[in-house]
Structure 1
Amino acid sequence: MTYFHARTIEGDFETVLDRTRASLQEQGFGVLTEIDVQATLKAKIGEDFRPYRILGACNPVMAHEALKMEPHVGVMLPCNVVVQQVEDGVEVFAVDPAASMAAIENTELLQHARMVGERLNAAIDRI
Structure 2
Amino acid sequence: MGITVWCLSMTANATATSSGLKLTLVKESPYDFEETLESLRNTIHAHNFRVFPDRYLEEGLTDELSVNTKQVSVRFCNFSDLHEALQIEPQVGVLLPCTITVIEDAAGKVTLVTGNVKAMLTLFDNPRLTAAFKDLEGKYQAIIDEVTL
Q: Shorter-chain TM-score: what band?
A: 0.7 to 0.9
Distance 1:76 1:33, change over 3 A: farther
The correspondence of residues 17-56 of structure 1 with structure 2, limited to 5 A, is 17-38=37-58, 40-43=60-63, 49=68, 51-56=70-75
Contact 1:50–1:85 (8 Å) recurs in 2: no
| Secondary structure of the corresponding residue to residue 22 of structure 2 | coil
Identity of aligned residues (%): 24
Aligned positions of 1:53-68 closer than 5 A: 53-68=72-87
Change (3 A) 1:103 1:122: same
Q: Is 1:121 aligned with 2:141?
A: yes
Residues 1:78 and 2:97 aligned together:
yes
Output the TM-score relative to the length of structure 1.
Answer: 0.83
Could you list the runs of 4 or more consecutive aligned residues of structure 1 that deviate by over 3 angstroms after TM superposition?
Answer: 38-42, 46-50
- Structure 2, unmatched stretches of 5+, are 1-20
Q: Which has the higher strand share?
A: 1
Give the drift of 1:4.
Answer: 2.5
Write the letter of the residue equivalent to 1:4: T
Q: Which runs of 5+ in 1 are unaligned?
A: none
Corresponding residue pairs, total: 126
Which residue, out of 3, 21, 24, partners 1:4? 24
